[in-house]
Structure 1
Amino acid sequence: MFISPMRMDAREKPFSDQAYVFEPKIDGHRLLLSRNGAETRLFTRERRECTRQYPELLNVPADGDIVLDGEVSCIDAETGAEAAGLAEERLMLADSRKIHSFSLQKPAQYHVWDILFYKGRDLRGLPLVRRRAILESVLPENEAFRLVPQTDGHGEALYRTIVERHMEGMVAKRKSSPYVSRWSHDWIKIMNYRHEEVAITGYRKDGFGWLLSKEEEGVCRPAGMLEQGVHLKHRKAFKKLSKALVSGEDEQFVYLMPQIQAKVKSIGWTRHGLLRSPELIELKL
């Protein structure tokens, strides 16, 4: 059974409030788990079924039918730590042998933060704190299933820890909130954005996207694609300037000399050295 997930509002600065609990934001992708009888199925928030991609999550350590909400991440076996982008890589796999190898070398962990149904009972109308109590009572933790830790009221202290540990961000959740399948002000994400100075070294021919590069030791290396936060005025100014900077092209991109600079914010770097979800702050023309 797929249930459209509750979506989070966003704000820039952390806060503290005794009406909220605060959770670290897990570095992975949203995952909804539904077990009905002997069948367990997994879905992304876009309703894409990904049961095959995560065989180690099919043995749910709870009795009876259940629907859970949370985030899946993958662990780098060499370091024992979560690695940015590994869960998204797993999601793209289709070959069963590759999936099996991935599950052994980079096993998945399901970080559960909510329970929506249990043994035929719809729990979504209960307040968050009551659902959490039920979750803790019916789902024991193991290597594959973890409960997302919560901090009561003290969001700013948790956020300082998140920044120190270079984590993705945190989520504030109103204790009294029911679970609703839409955007809600009761759940708020506060991202730990990092800022970078980059050069725009090309653009996509089909659709919008600017190629980014980062200078390191006098050498420009690829840093990803900018698609967010670019207003029409930025696009017009860029188009006017870029005509004189073209250095080449191929079927997909027009390449530019690295003379247009930009300041962007992102949630860090992938293990392949690219910015994760960069967003434009300032275009330096």
Structure 2
Amino acid sequence: MPSTAEDREWAYEFAWPGRRTLVRAGGARVTAVDETGADVTARYPELRGLAAQLGSTEALLDGQVVVFAAGRPDPEGLRRRAEADRETARRLVDRHPAFFFVSDVLHLDGHSRLDLPYVERRALLDELGLAGDHWQVPPTHLGDGGAVARASRDHGLPGLLAKRRSSPYRPGRANTDWLFVEAPDVRRVLIAGWRPGGGRRAGTFGSLLLAVPDGASLRYAGSVGVGFSQEELGSLAATLAELEQPRPPLADVPDHPDARWVRPVLAAEVVHGPKSAPRWRGLLSEPG
């Protein structure tokens, strides 16, 4: 996950469990190809109406084909659609309907848009007004990646996509401007205290002690000791020194004899991995 300090530089989208698909539509024709370049137009007859909606506009669109059942993504239905021939696909339309979630526009009316920043391509995409029974443009969220990550988990989605707002579209090239973050568990916490650091962290802190609201009081929520930049270690240590208080702000005090306590006025986010220690993401607020 990008840090909270970088949030304004990034846009966040839900990662849908589907098949990456490029769709060229316009001029009364629709053509769809998958990630391998294979023509899969016949598998998704629901998308033919895209050309009619675009009218004389021609566009090359990037997105995901997703199949739903009972309001949730249906991997088995998607597999059946992806393996279907033309006749089978027609029979499966009612039972396993396909939806195209458009996330980007690569060419528009004969002009490449690949070099435009992501936010400009998204603006062009939104102006197309694509909305139909089997296609839509899901929203992109500018900043606040933690909230998007929590919503992604709440909806049972595989994760989120973080895209640098200034990034061009780079076909077929992995890069650090587009990140797939798998099932991030981003939690909001308050800093309740810290433990002194040693070695390279002497004079700063080794870990932060965290808390979460529990009714009218605070409950201990573990600690975080990784993910800090050198600059953060110094600046945060100075801030914590100003907030220090003699008594813990928690009812359930952890057994750390060296713990130093602070007024719990700093909100932050930490990212919990399924098999890794919590990782610092950054502050959400200044002392207040």
Fold equivalence (TM over 0.5): yes
Please indicate the TM-score interval, normalised by the length of the shorter structure: 0.5 to 0.7
The alignment covers a number of residue pairs equal to 181
Counterpart in the other structure of 2:177 = 186
Structure showing the higher strand proportion among its residues: 1
Distance 1:75 1:101 in 2: 16
Q: 2:114 is paired with a residue of what secondary structure?
A: coil
- Identify which of 116, 128, 136 aligns with 1:138: 128
Counterpart in the other structure of 2:65 = 72
Can you list the C-alpha shifts for 1:75-103, whole angstroms capped at 9, x where unaligned? 22xx133212422321111150x211211
Amino acid at match of 2:139: P
The answer to whether the Cα contact below 8 Å between 2:78 and 2:96 also exists between their aligned partners in 1 is no
- Identify which of 75, 80, 83 aligns with 1:84: 75
Task: Indicate the structure whose relative CO is greater, using CA pairs within 8 Å and at least 6 residues apart.
Answer: 1
Could you list the structure 1 runs, at least 4 aligned residues long, displaced by more than 6 angstroms after superposition.
Answer: none
Distance 1:176 1:46 in 2: 27
CA apart distance, 1:36: 5.5
Can you list the C-alpha shifts for 1:177-220, whole angstroms capped at 9, x where unaligned? 111111121100001189xxxxxxxxxxxxxxxxxxxxxxxxxx
Counterpart in the other structure of 1:94 = 85
Distance 2:38 2:73 in 1: 23
Distance 1:108 1:158 in 2: 24
Q: 2:36 is paired with a residue of what secondary structure?
A: coil
Structure 2's unaligned 5+ residue stretches are: 186-274, 276-288
Q: 1:184 is paired with a residue of what secondary structure?
A: coil
| Greater C-alpha Rg | 2
- The percent identity for this pair of structures is 27
Counterpart in the other structure of 1:129 = 119
Counterpart in the other structure of 2:54 = 62
The answer to whether the Cα contact below 8 Å between 1:15 and 1:156 also exists between their aligned partners in 2 is no
TM-score (norm 1): 0.59
User: Does 1:105 find its partner at 2:105?
Assistant: no
Alignment of 1:1-285 (within 5 A): 13=1, 15-16=3-4, 17-35=7-25, 37-60=27-50, 61-63=53-55, 64-76=57-69, 79-94=70-85, 96=87, 98-181=88-171, 182-192=173-183
Structure 1's unaligned 5+ residue stretches are: 1-12, 195-280
Can you list the C-alpha shifts for 1:58-78, whole angstroms capped at 9, x where unaligned? 2212232110000010122xx
The answer to whether the Cα contact below 8 Å between 2:54 and 2:128 also exists between their aligned partners in 1 is yes
Distance 1:100 1:15 in 2: 46
RMSD: 2.1
The answer to whether the Cα contact below 8 Å between 1:124 and 1:180 also exists between their aligned partners in 2 is yes
TM-score (norm 2): 0.59
Q: 1:180 is paired with a residue of what secondary structure?
A: coil
Q: 1:99 is paired with a residue of what secondary structure?
A: helix
The answer to whether the Cα contact below 8 Å between 1:125 and 1:179 also exists between their aligned partners in 2 is yes
Distance 1:162 1:15 in 2: 18
Can you list the C-alpha shifts for 1:117-166, whole angstroms capped at 9, x where unaligned? 11111111111111111111113212211112211111111111212222
